[in-house]
Amino acid sequence: MPCREHRLLRLRVKGLAQDNGLKTMTFQALAQIVVSGLLMGLIYALIAAGLSLIFGLMDVVNFAHGEFLMMAMYAMFGLVLALAVDPVLLMPIVAGLMFALGAIVYLGVVRHAMRAKVNAGMVQVFATFGLAIVLRGLAQLFFTPDFRSIPNTWLGGKTLNLGGIFLPWPQLFGGAVSIAAFVGLYLLISRTDFGRALAATREDAGAVALVGIDRNKVFTIGWGLGAGLVGLAGSVMAIFFYIHPDVGGPFALTAYVTVALGGFGSIFGALAAGVIIGLIEAITATILPTEMKSLGIYAAYLAVVFVRPRGLFGNI
Amino acid sequence: MTKSIHPTLNRRTLLGAGAIALASSVTPALAQQKEVLIGAIFPLSGASAQVGVDAKHALETAADIINGNYNFDLPAGKGGGLAGLGGAKVKLVFADHQADPQKGRAEAERLITQDKVAAIVGSFHSAVAATISATTERYQVPYFSADNSSPSLNRRGLKYFFRAAAHDEMFTVAMFDFLDTMRKRGEKVNSVGLFHEDTIFGTDSSNAQRDTAQARGYNLAVDIKYRANSPSLTAEVQQLSSANPDVLMPSSYTTDGILLVKTMSELGYKPKAIVAQAAGFAEKSLFDAVGDKLDGLISRASFSLDLAQKRPVIGKVNEMFKARSGKDLNDNTSRQLMALLILADAIDRAKSVEGPAIREALAKTDIPGEKTIMPWTKVAFGEDGQNMNANPVLLQYLGGKFVTIFPESAAIAKPKWPMN
Amino acid sequence: MSTQSIGIAAGLAQANDRFHAARRRQLMTLVVVVLVISVLPLLVKDVYLQNIMVLTLMYTALSQSWNILGGYCGQISLGHAIYFGIGAYTSTLLFTKFGVSPWFGMAAGGGIAALVALVLGYPFFRLKGHYFTIATIVVAEAALVLFLSWPYAGGALGIQLPAAADNWANLQFGRNKLPFIYTALALATITWLVTWKIEDSRWGYWWRAVKDNPEAAESLGVVIFNSKMAAAALSAFFVAVGGSFYAQFVAYIDPDSVLNFHFSLLFALPAVLGGIGTLWGPALGAIILIPLTEFTRSYAGGSGQGIDLIIYGALIMLIALWKPEGLIGFFVRQPKPLPASADEGAHS
């Protein structure tokens, strides 16, 4: 704290290298900031995708979302340990396991919370909040609170150097998975019978029963899909991030803001908002002291909802 | 809930455990079952749970050494139990503070008033230590700080606060002493870069480093404070990379430490040298995750396994700990283990489980360094409860393990400099 | 509404009588409860249990305050930690820097928090549902980040309350927990009385109207907006007073121990578990939740295996699912949504 002035002075020269030509390095540094922010943003979007889907379908905020992410990471960790196969190949299994977890959580917890006559929203929040604590406790019981990571993977620690701009392979892969997941989600919702049932249920859960759609079945699959998407996110994260029972927290908050910024009910909004948040975070960190980089995200959210109270692309 | 059985009966225990006390006074054979309860308050759940669970193993190992019939040349290391209290055994009562100062205080009160512990050991988080030690002061029960490193803790005029290990300022001085010798050897060590989390630990550590760097004429090339448990450190590492200081000095716990090293490698930044304020950089998990990228990393430490070559007892203690935890002793666990031994020794000498008597015995502590598992010259507490003879060492991670490189008297290898 | 009222004039008068009789009964219950709680700490001398009493009463007051905005007004804020932090920091800074009595600090903290609530409320009340909730979370998180980097307020190092003479003026009492119990009880009683008063006021009617039917309430327009602002200010004021109390009680604050998101949840949780938007819900919730939190941690948390978390989380989940309308459902014989005519009659 005594060197505040020094700090402020330094801020202006951040991102400029000292010895090389200033112009090229500035461009490179800038490009690196943008690219890193973009890749991180795609991963934020991927984490938020499941939350967005569940929310859009049934107006439920899943407070255990961060813990779902944590479970997916541990699932990947455990599978790699047991099968000695690379995480990239195990992704479908993790997504499948998470689909099952999501369906079970809907049938076992959320379905009952939805019966509440008063303040169903808050009941769901706290039922899933309780669930989140249980999941953290279970992770600590079965895996101990040690910090884990998966060593020696195909992608882990490898970086693509594009003329001085560094693109880590795990994040590149994560970005690709993220885009693929959103494309898949779009096709599912717009091109399949299930997608139409999903949309119809979202519009009017009561009326769909009349046309023979089993609301409960749609919700169960919806939760499964949402959790399965978190499974993909967790699989990617497990390659380049550490794993422990509390790992989900910081990501969950970003995911909530991402979904709200994009607009509740809009899958595309989550993608756009994820990327925007990644970029804003990276840019804020170069303008403000780095410990305040989240302020940029918060300010962006407030600025958007004050102008557009339903987020960027929301319809709810 | 366990009720303690005390060798000395006071009114509270008489009321609380009358029947048992009666039994023990009637049957002499039961005298051997006397127990001295010691409270241990650590983070046993939440983001720092790993430290707490390791601390539990370390303290249980120490209790084994005290209670078992060993012949270690360590405080309370000989014979079974505490001779001064007729062979009474030390029993630990663990409590979880979840990194919350309020909860730490509530647990301290519970352990003191319900379990009637003779003393409390803790607590990893300095913020929690602040409230626990204020409480123990009010109840006149010693608080033995095992691994809190904030220098402010011993500056509050508390009479029942004791810390055998070094605090951040002492550690920082050792780190810069080392940098000075590297300078004298003709290495280019002009600028340092600070990288610290926005917590009490990161703030204390970086304040000491900033002041010392300025006082000794090092240029502060970059000074980055980051949000602990960040989802990403990319922007931070870019700034480190473009400033490229001669020495990078991180003050980070395991989570951010792992992420820092991974991100540096992803962004192609190879720091010239790293001199870490231990914490995450003393944890096995970190080296399991990213050890291959850290050959040549230097960290300050309270402990060095190398010392086992000179003092075989360290090797034996380490084996005992490893049998419990599957890990070697490190910076934190060694301090926790040693704390209980020193505390038990004081209770043994006090021949009492009353707080003031233990305090007196602690204040008179004078244990030569050779009788510890640490590289310290001795254990003797100042007026403020701080042991100023807790000399830190610097370790370098070379070929997959840590070797001592500083000070010369303890060094078993020449430092590899620069790292990259 | 008037035509409706005329149509059921007789029923309305009857319902009105019943309503006021019920309110008198509530007040009597309060007197009994307060008397019982006042005697309790004289019988239970265990410091650990007394500590739990302080926390339970404190969270009762905090949750009751949250309930004014979240329960009665239907504006779910999960960012009330910002007001808690403002209260804690205001009284502590005034005391450590200027030697101002914590009682004055408490009032000042409450005032500042109410002002902040008004400033934030102006743009925030245009937001609906989850957009509003996330905006409150975001602002509280921003405050946490800013306080961590504010050297004057101690930054991450926090502020230790210097030991002063143990007396009521300094609100410090050494080992003695009794004064804290009675202060917390007073705070809980005051927030209860404020809520009780509001239930029967014009504001109370408007807020229920807003909650039950936002579209219809829009006809009330500006009036509703102003009453929401008032609810936010009132709620923030009492949460900040609770924050000052907490700072005095723990005697140490840092950003993470007063501004953390989990406090925001802890203010809402008792109200939700006990019965959101009800007079006794927050107290009921806190009486279950806080001892549960403390006991599971103290007696199951020492293992380091996360068992305390599993028990604690599972119980929260079970209560939420078992009694979705809140534990108050056990005590109130009539289900909350009364037969339409009588209910609306009493409220309009």
Q: What is the pLDDT of residue B33?
A: 54
Q: What is the pLDDT of residue C224?
A: 78
CB contact A140 to B (< 8 Å): yes
Cα–Cα–Cα angle for C284, C288, C293, rounded to 5 degrees: 140
Q: What is the pLDDT of residue C12?
A: 66
What's the mean pLDDT when you consider all of chain B? 89
Closest CA in chain A for residue B289? A149
CB contact A217 to C (< 8 Å): no
In this predicted structure, the answer to whether residue B60 has a pLDDT above a threshold of 80 is yes
Residue boundaries of the structural domains of chain C = 2-347
Q: How many residues does chain A have?
A: 316
- Which structure tokens are listed for C295? 């006991």
Asked if B266's CB is within 8 angstroms of A157's CB, the reply is yes
Nearest to C47 among B44, B113, B203 (CB): B113
Q: Please indicate, yes or no, whether residues B210 and B182 belong to a single structural domain of this protein.
A: yes
Q: What is the pLDDT of residue A302?
A: 95
Question: Based on the number of CB atoms within 10 Å of its own CB, is C165 exposed (0-12), middle (13-18) or buried (19 or more)?
Answer: exposed
- Which structure tokens are listed for C94? 């005034």
Assigned domain for B186 exists: yes
Nearest to A130 among C123, C317, C324 (CB): C317
Residue boundaries of the structural domains of chain A = 49-154+163-246, 248-316
What span, in angstroms and rounded, lies between the C-alpha atoms of B160 and B33?
28
* CATH number of the domain where residue B229 is located: 3.40.50.2300
Q: What is the pLDDT of residue C97?
A: 94
pLDDT single digits (tens) A78-125: 999 999 999 999 999 999 999 999 999 999 998 888 877 767 777 888
Q: What is the pLDDT of residue B9?
A: 39
Q: What is the pLDDT of residue C216?
A: 65
For residue B198, the enclosing domain spans: 169-301+393-406
Assigned domain for B418 exists: no
**Chain B residues inside the 8 Å CB shell of A140:** 45, 49
- Which structure tokens are listed for A155? 């992608």
Q: What is the pLDDT of residue A99?
A: 97
Residues 6+ apart with CB under 8 A from C122: C229
Q: Please indicate, yes or no, whether residues B358 and B326 belong to a single structural domain of this protein.
A: yes
Assigned domain for B260 exists: yes
Residue among C87, C160, C259, C162 nearest B128 (CA): C160
Assigned domain for B87 exists: yes
What span, in angstroms and rounded, lies between the C-alpha atoms of B158 and B141?
11
pLDDT single digits (tens) B80-112: 899 999 999 999 999 999 999 999 999 999 999
Q: What is the pLDDT of residue C7?
A: 55
Q: Please indicate, yes or no, whether residues B317 and B261 belong to a single structural domain of this protein.
A: no
How confident is the prediction along chain C (348 residues), in pLDDT tens digits per residue? Answer: 445 545 556 666 777 788 788 888 999 999 999 999 999 999 999 999 999 999 999 999 999 999 999 988 888 999 999 999 999 999 999 999 999 999 999 999 999 999 999 999 999 988 988 899 999 999 999 999 999 999 999 999 999 988 878 888 888 888 889 999 999 999 999 999 999 999 888 888 877 776 777 666 666 666 778 888 999 999 999 999 999 999 999 999 999 999 999 899 999 999 999 998 899 999 999 999 999 999 999 998 888 888 889 999 999 999 888 888 888 888 875 444 443 333 333 333
Q: What is the pLDDT of residue A296?
A: 94
Q: Please indicate, yes or no, whether residues B400 and B336 belong to a single structural domain of this protein.
A: no
Assigned domain for B1 exists: no
Q: How confident is the model at residue B227 (pLDDT cuts 50, 70, 90)?
A: very high
Q: What is the mean pLDDT of residues B315-338?
A: 95
Q: What is the pLDDT of residue C214?
A: 65
B45 min Cα distance to partner chain C (Å) = 6
**Chain C residues inside the 8 Å CB shell of B12:** none
B327 min Cα distance to partner chain A (Å) = 11
CB contact B294 to A (< 8 Å): no
Assigned domain for B238 exists: yes
Nearest to A130 among C128, C145, C314 (CB): C314
Angle between helices A267-287 and B234-243 (to 10 degrees): 30
C337 min Cα distance to partner chain A (Å) = 9
CB contact A115 to C (< 8 Å): yes
Residue A90 falls in which region: left (phi positive, over 0), alpha (psi -120 to 50) or beta: alpha
Closest CA in chain B for residue C248? B102
- DSSP run (H or E) holding C321: helix C307-322
Asked if A161's CB is within 8 angstroms of B226's CB, the reply is no
Regions of chain A where pLDDT drops below 50: 1-24
Q: What is the mean pLDDT of residues B283-299?
A: 92
What span, in angstroms and rounded, lies between the C-alpha atoms of C35 and C185?
10
β-bridge partners, A166: A161
Assigned domain for B342 exists: yes
Q: Please indicate, yes or no, whether residues B275 and B204 belong to a single structural domain of this protein.
A: yes
Asked if C299's CB is within 8 angstroms of B200's CB, the reply is no
Choose the weakest-confidence range: A142-146, B33-37, B287-291, C330-334. Answer: C330-334
The residue of C256, C259, C305, C310 whose CB has the most chain B CBs within 10 angstroms, and thus the best one to mutate to test that interface, is C256
C2-347 adopts what CATH topology? Answer: ABC transporter involved in vitamin B12 uptake, BtuC (1.10.3470)
Q: What subunits make at least 3 CB pairs under 8 angstroms with C?
A: A, B
- Tally of domains within chain B: 2
**Chain C residues inside the 8 Å CB shell of B3:** none
Residue B202 falls in which region: left (phi positive, over 0), alpha (psi -120 to 50) or beta: alpha
pLDDT single digits (tens) B234-254: 989 999 998 999 999 999 999
Percent of chain B beyond pLDDT 90? 78
Q: What is the pLDDT of residue A140?
A: 93
C25 min Cα distance to partner chain A (Å) = 24
Assigned domain for B413 exists: no
- Asked whether the beta carbons of C306 and A137 are under 8 A apart, the reply is yes
